[in-house]
Amino acid sequence: MIDTHTHIFPDKIAPKVVERFRTAIGDAIPLAGDFTLQDLKAYMKRCGIEAVVTFCVAERPEVVGAANNFLIEINDNQTLFSFGTILPNMEDPVGEVRRIKGKGIKGIKFHSLFQPIRARDENLFPIYGAMAQEGMIAYFHVGKDPVNPSHPPGTGPQDIAHLKERFPSLKIVAAHFGGLFMLDEARKWIIGRDIYIDTCWGPNIQSLESEEVIDLIRQHGAEKVLLATDYPSTTDPAPQIKWFKDLPLQEEEKQLILRENARRLLGL
């Protein structure tokens, strides 16, 4: 199995992030781990995950370079695929895109909850253009903020649909079935289009109805769905993976979602 949506921080920073989750974020996003590389590897071993895509999102322009250097260092493009981070108001963001691509990074995570960006922001367009040229994957948090679910989303399903129209060759992944806590909009704007979606949900996938998950997968096309947990920003992933594997989908559909789609997307 390949889990295409996990989070990591350097060992020095991880405890501060855990502390912030516990105090500022509270119960809205549970934590199943501590954001360290060691913990991520233990999760993979425990749950039978052969490879992960992992993110370390920079919240301020002056830390983008350091975050990407950490991601480059841990990336092996075999069991651990680090996706980079970017901010449009840093110095030479397009140069940074090309630098990390040159170091083997295959994609970039755009996180409108933790970064002051929205997918529709035009100052991101040169970044998308460079990524499309380089064949990189743009991975978006799409949907609401679990801490403030009544707020409008920074990046919603409609933004992603418009982006795909503007940059048709850009490979896009829309996390959370195309829209966290916004499945009606996801169905309208994402489902059925040439965009990958992932399966992580808050606080876990069991909080969705299995009928709804199966319907979303079949409407969208199982060949564009990626197994993902959001580890460690979730409850225990083991029962979530079991829940997913127990869905009454065809074996072929499960193989695509659990492994083969991610392999194709990552160029394996």
**What is the binding site for Zn ion (CB under 5 A)?**
230
Distance in Å, CB of 5 to Zn ion, minimum: 5
Closer CB to Zn ion, residue 173 or residue 249? Answer: 173
Comparison of 75 and 233: residue with beta carbon closer to Zn ion: 233
List the beta bridge partners of residue 82. 54
In this complex, which beta carbon is closest to Zn ion, that of residue 64 or of residue 142?
Answer: 142
How are strands ordered across the β-sheet holding 2-7? 2-7, 51-55, 80-83
Tokens representing 172 are 């896009």
* Residue carrying structure tokens 């995950």: 49
Q: Give the torsion sign (CA, 256, 159, 192, 186).
A: positive
Please say which residue, 172 or 249, places its beta carbon nearer to Zn ion.
172
- Distance between CA atoms of residues 39 and 78, nearest Å: 18
Nearer to Zn ion, 83 or 249 (CB): 83
SS (H, E, C) 15-75: HHHHHHHHHHHHHHCCCCCCCCHHHHHHHHHHHCCCEEEEECCCCCHHHHHHHHHHHHHHC
Cβ-based neighbours of 45, under 8 Å, separated by 6 or more: none
Which residue in 68, 59, 188, 199 sits closest to 136, CA to CA? 68
Distance between CA 197 and CA 208 in Å, rounded?
A: 15
Q: How far is the CB of 70 from Zn ion (least distance, A)?
A: 17
Q: How far apart are CB 128 and Zn ion at their closest, in Å? A: 20
Over the Cα atoms of the chain, what is R_g?
17
Minimum Å gap between C-beta 7 and Zn ion is 6
Smallest gap from residue 230 Cβ to Zn ion (A): 4
Provide the minimum distance between the beta carbon of 222 and Zn ion in the complex, in angstroms, as a whole number: 22
* Nearer to Zn ion (CB atom), residue 145 or residue 230: 230
